Amino acid sequence: MAGVSMPAGAGERLLEELVAQTHQAAPMDLPDVASRYAKALGMQRATLYLVDIQQRLLVPLTGREESLGVDSSLAGWAYRTLSLRVAEEGSGELIVWLPLVDGAERLGVLEVRTPALDGLKLWRLRTLAALLAMAVTSKRASSDTLARQARTEAMQLPAEMLRAFLPPRTIGSDRAISTAVLEPAYELGGDAFDHSFTKDHLYASILDAMGHDLASGLATSVAMAGCRNARRTGADLLGLVAGVDEALAQWLPDQFCTGVFVQLDVESGMMRWCNCGHPTPLLIREHRLVDRALECSAEPPMGLPASLAGEPRSVHETILEPGDRVLLYTDGVVEARSEDGEQFGLERFTDHIIRATAAGARAPEVLRLLIHDILDHQDSDLSDDATILLLEWRPPGPLTGPDGRTPGGAEGWSGPGGPGTIQGAAEPRPS
């Protein structure tokens, strides 16, 4: 009978079959696997939509439906807010939109059409969405089809090379999140980001190699490899930077690269960083920019310039407070110019972050909106790469402001990128 939930035992046997079929399915077969499961539960069909590289469109995997705007559709609302959305058609059929999320990484949305919805059916749909998200993540690294689905134009060779090295856009735990964006999406030159978790630490870095061509992309790729190689052998922060210095000096002595390397203790909030000739990171706390909080003495870029300088690198430290957001960025962000020559500027950059934070936007959504604002400012024609990485430290537990209330209307910590900050400042100190 339509609208009556299947008994639990039968439903779980179907779920077991779904798991087995998902493992065996080719990437483009996932929509059919999902629809068969949905129909067996008395629903009409299920459709997967994956977000494109620039996070403007939700593209159907089937190819039969139209793409949907992230900023102009109910599906986009589910993606932006990581929330369930249910709508009713004139026929009485329900359309359920669920976000597809693997860890902290937003992948797209799942659309399910059903004549009725109850608690058990909704639980099964959430389980389906979680399983499909993991399946997409596991299969997309080896699927050119999924890569094509995420693109709306041809990828230039330097960008193709760099993107092969990039980690997921967002990683997170219940204590910290790191999320990044970079443009121009299809014509990257020398910008990149990296982030990774160990048991107790979040590592993040942003890189900007000299130039805007294949050679600069190669320099950034070597820098990322040097950093990861050192990190995976247990090197400390100075060891990571030394690994990059040595890799560039040995393999690409004519190239150099600026960057910031961060190590965040996710338990204590202790943040340590090295700045190698790069713009100063920014600290946002209690909806305001803490002026010069992370400023430190200038050091040479990585590669041969560091070898010639002869001075040891410095590591700086500060203690973050719950809700703090740290921004790493490349100079292309603030130097983007409109047609009349007006720079996007640091003030506009930080104001955007502060306003979006105050509105309760999750960290990945803050950066998605910001990078689109930067592109609009320069009429989608960036003269230099623009890359932003945002770190947020949010240990578990309720967050309260100086007035005793939860900031931003948030009811405590609600997961990676949730709203709310608290007051205070921290000054860096060399170790």
Q: Is the pLDDT of residue 280 over 50?
A: yes
pLDDT in tens, 327-363: 999 988 877 666 676 778 888 888 989 999 888 899 9
35 and 45 in contact (C-beta within 8 Å)?
yes
Which region among 66-75, 199-208, 224-233, 333-342 has the lowest average model confidence (pLDDT)?
A: 333-342
| The token pair that represents 334 in the structure block | 């603030």
- pLDDT category at 5 given cuts 50, 70, 90 is low
pLDDT at 306 exceeding the cut of 80: no
Mean pLDDT of 9-14: 76
Q: What is the pLDDT of residue 338?
A: 67
Report how far residue 57's alpha carbon sits from residue 53's, in angstroms, rounded to the nearest whole number: 9
Check pLDDT > 70 for residue 423.
no
CA dist list (Å): 24 to 16, 20, 21, 35, 245: 13, 7, 5, 16, 44
What is the pLDDT at residue 336? 64
pLDDT higher than 50, residue 8:
yes
More confident residue, 212 or 146: 146
What's the pLDDT score for residue 7?
62
Give the single-character DSSP code of 27. Answer: G
- Residue 188 binned pLDDT confidence (cut-offs 50, 70, 90): confident
- What residue has token string 């007006």? 342
Interval 73-83 mean pLDDT: 96
Of 1 and 88, more confident: 88
Which residue in the block uniquely carries the two structure tokens 């203790």?
Answer: 265
Count the helices and strands in the chain (H runs, E runs). 12, 19
Which percentage of the chain shows pLDDT scores above 90? 55
Which residues touch 107 (CB under 8 Å, ≥6 apart)? 50, 51, 100, 101, 133, 136, 137
Query: Which of 309-318, 353-362, 380-389 has the weakest average pLDDT?
Result: 380-389
Task: Show the 3-state SS of 214-255.
Answer: HHHHHHHHHHHHHHHHHHCCCCCHHHHHHHHHHHHHHHCCCC
pLDDT at site 25: 86
pLDDT at 213 over 90: no
Q: pLDDT > 70: what percent of the chain?
A: 87
Give the model's confidence band at 403: pLDDT under 50 very low, under 70 low, under 90 confident, else very high: very low
The string of DSSP letters for 267-311 reads: TT-EEEEEEES-PPPEEEETTEE-TTTT-----PPEEHHHHHH-P
Query: Of 198, 197, 188, nearest to 221 (Cα)?
Result: 188
